[in-house]
């Protein structure tokens, strides 16, 4: 488990000096957890926790563009989140709609390519439309690819991939012997991005929660005790530094 507090109480600038720009993780995935507990501990309604979470999300996206992260995938709304109260679900959906509309030009200005992954067709049509507009406006940007995972579940993603491949076998005569890991990956929602190098989860929970199960096969994990609204640039850099100190062997031996 990663340390969520710098032992030396270093500043962001000091930590940056200890990080190699040539060994940054290319793709970082984040499970943004703890908004509701953050609000509860402050005797605030859940909506305030989610709003604070959006602010933290915006800070981290902008910081990624500054330090040179190329791909960022964030778990924003799972298939299981529909089990929450109707009021909270509606609040979250409105927040997504507001963010997509309000931040569209800012994302474009900062060179962020915005993409929503998940079972998008099950979302309200107005929200789908806002997502499509932001994807279109930012579609040619190359500084950072941002995957917002909404109505997402990794098992569902894998099932959808299997269905697509089954249709190719049945309808187009695909030879099953040609189905390998590479072919399977091309049928996932993340077909056009590399697998995550680093997975971060906030709030002290030590679970994957059905997030990118196939893609994180060789990702490094880093768990923060902080709730997502309190997760900041310094904590983000501590995770990256810890990542750079690890020996990634991918099943082999140290070179």
Q: Is 33 a catalytic residue?
A: yes
CA distance 74 to 63: 14
- Coil, strand or helix: which one is 222? strand
Length of the chain: 255
- In 32-101, at which residue ranges do the beta strands (DSSP E only) sit? 71-78
Contact assessment for residue 60 and residue 224, using Cβ atoms and an 8 Å cutoff: no
- Exactly one of 9, 33, 87, 210 is catalytic; name it: 33
DSSP output for 19-38: S-GGG--SEEEEE---HHHH
In three-state secondary structure terms, 151 is strand
Neighbours of 155 (CB within 10 A): 11
Strands 27-31 and 112-117: unpaired
Residues 231 and 189: their CA atoms lie apart, in Å, by 27
What span, in angstroms and rounded, lies between the C-alpha atoms of 93 and 241?
Answer: 34
Residue 151 Rama label (left phi>0; alpha psi -120 to 50; beta): left
Residue of 159, 86, 148, 93 lying closest to 118 (CA atoms): 148
| The one catalytic residue among 9, 35, 81, 147 | 81
151 is catalytic: no
CA atoms within 13 A on the CB side of 52: 21
Residues involved in catalysis: 33, 81
């Amino acid at each position: 488990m990663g340390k969520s507090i710098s032992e030396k109480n270093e500043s962001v600038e000091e930590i940056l000096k200890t990080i190699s720009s040539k060994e940054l993780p290319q793709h970082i995935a984040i499970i943004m957890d703890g908004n509701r507990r953050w609000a509860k501990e402050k005797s605030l309604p859940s909506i305030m926790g989610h709003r604070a979470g959006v602010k933290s999300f915006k800070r981290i996206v902008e910081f990624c563009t500054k330090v040179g992260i190329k791909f960022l995938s964030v778990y924003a709304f799972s298939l299981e989140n529909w089990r929450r109260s109707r009021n909270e679900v509606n609040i979250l959906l409105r927040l997504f709609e507001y963010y997509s509309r309000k931040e569209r030009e800012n994302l474009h200005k900062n060179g962020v390519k915005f993409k929503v992954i998940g079972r998008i067709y099950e979302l309200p049509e107005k929200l789908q439309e806002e997502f499509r507009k932001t994807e279109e406006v930012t579609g040619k940007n190359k500084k950072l690819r941002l995957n917002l995972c909404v109505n997402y579940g990794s098992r569902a993603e894998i099932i959808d991939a299997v269905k697509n491949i089954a249709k190719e076998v049945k309808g187009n005569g695909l030879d099953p012997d040609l189905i390998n890991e590479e072919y399977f990956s091309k049928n996932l929602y993340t077909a056009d991005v590399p697998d995550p190098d680093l997975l971060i989860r906030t709030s002290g929970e030590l679970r994957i929660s059905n997030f990118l199960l196939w893609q994180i096969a060789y990702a490094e994990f880093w768990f923060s005790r902080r709730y997502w609204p309190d997760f900041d640039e310094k904590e983000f850099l501590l995770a990256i530094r810890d990542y750079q100190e690890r020996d990634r062997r991918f099943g082999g031996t140290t070179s």
